[in-house]
A and B are shown apart, each in its own frame.
Chain A
C-alpha cells in the first residue's frame, strides 16, 4: 500500500533562517502533491500544490519542489518568522481518485 513519510516530527529553527521540510512517499505515483498548514486546535489549511510534471512552485516565501524519481517533495519557508510556527502536512493526490493520503506532519517552531 502507499506510504507517505514526513522526515521529522519536530523542527526548530531560528527566525530569519530557511526551514526545509521533507515529504517522502512509496508505492504511489501521485499526479499532485499538496501542502497544508495546521495550527493547534484548528483544521488544516491548504497552502499550495505542485504537479508531477513541475519541478518547483513558489508562493511568496514558500517554495515546493517535487522529484518524482526520488519520490520526494521539499517544502521551504524562507526568512522564517515566529508566525510560521505550525504543523505542516503533505498529501498525495492521485488526481482521479478524489482521495488524499496525508502524512503525519512536521511541527515547525520558529524561535525569535
Chain B
C-alpha cells in the first residue's frame, strides 16, 4: 500500500519558471492538503480540497494554484516561481470523516523545491 506519493522529490527552478507538484493517494481519502514547511515556521497550509472538483485556500495560498480533477490526485502549481517559495512541500490526505473523532492526516515524503 503506497499511501501518499509525491513527485518529484527534488526540483531546482529559476525565478519565473513554472512547475507542478503531483500528489497521489490510494486510500480513497476525501480530503487532501498541501503544506509547506520552513525552518522555525512549522507546517503551513497552502490549499486543501474536501472532495473531487473542490479546492479552498489555506493560510498561505498566494503564488500557488491547485486542482483536484480526480479524487486520488491533488496538484500544486507554481505559475511564476519566486525565491520565497523555496521550501519543502508536503501533501497529506484524510478521510474527512470523524474517524477517531478527529481529522488524522497521512503525509507524503515531501518535495524539496529550490528557487534560484
Task: Name A residues whose Cβ lies closer than 8 Å to a Cβ of B.
Answer: 4, 9, 31-32, 34, 36, 41-46, 49, 51, 89, 93, 95, 98-100, 102-105
The answer to whether B110 and A105 have CB atoms under 8 Å apart is no
Residue A42 contacts which of B42, B50, B103, B110 (CB distance < 8 angstroms)? B110
B42 near A31: Cβ-Cβ < 8 Å: no
What A residues does B31 contact at CB under 8 A?
98
What residues of chain B lie closer than 8 Å to A49, measured between beta carbons?
Answer: 100, 102, 104
Pick the most buried of B33, B41, B43: most chain A CB atoms within 10 A of its CB: B43
Partner of B110, one of A31, A41, A51, A99: A41
Query: What 1/0 mask marks residues of chain B from 89 to 116 whose CB sits below 8 Å from any chain A CB?
Result: 0101010100011111111111000000
Partner of A95, one of B44, B102, B105, B107: B102
Range class of the B interface residue count: 20 to 34
Complex interface: chain A residues within 8 A of B90 (CB): 43-44
In the complex, which residue of chain A has the Cβ closest to the Cβ of B50? A98
The residue in A9, A43, A51 that gathers the most chain B C-beta atoms within 10 A of its C-beta is A43
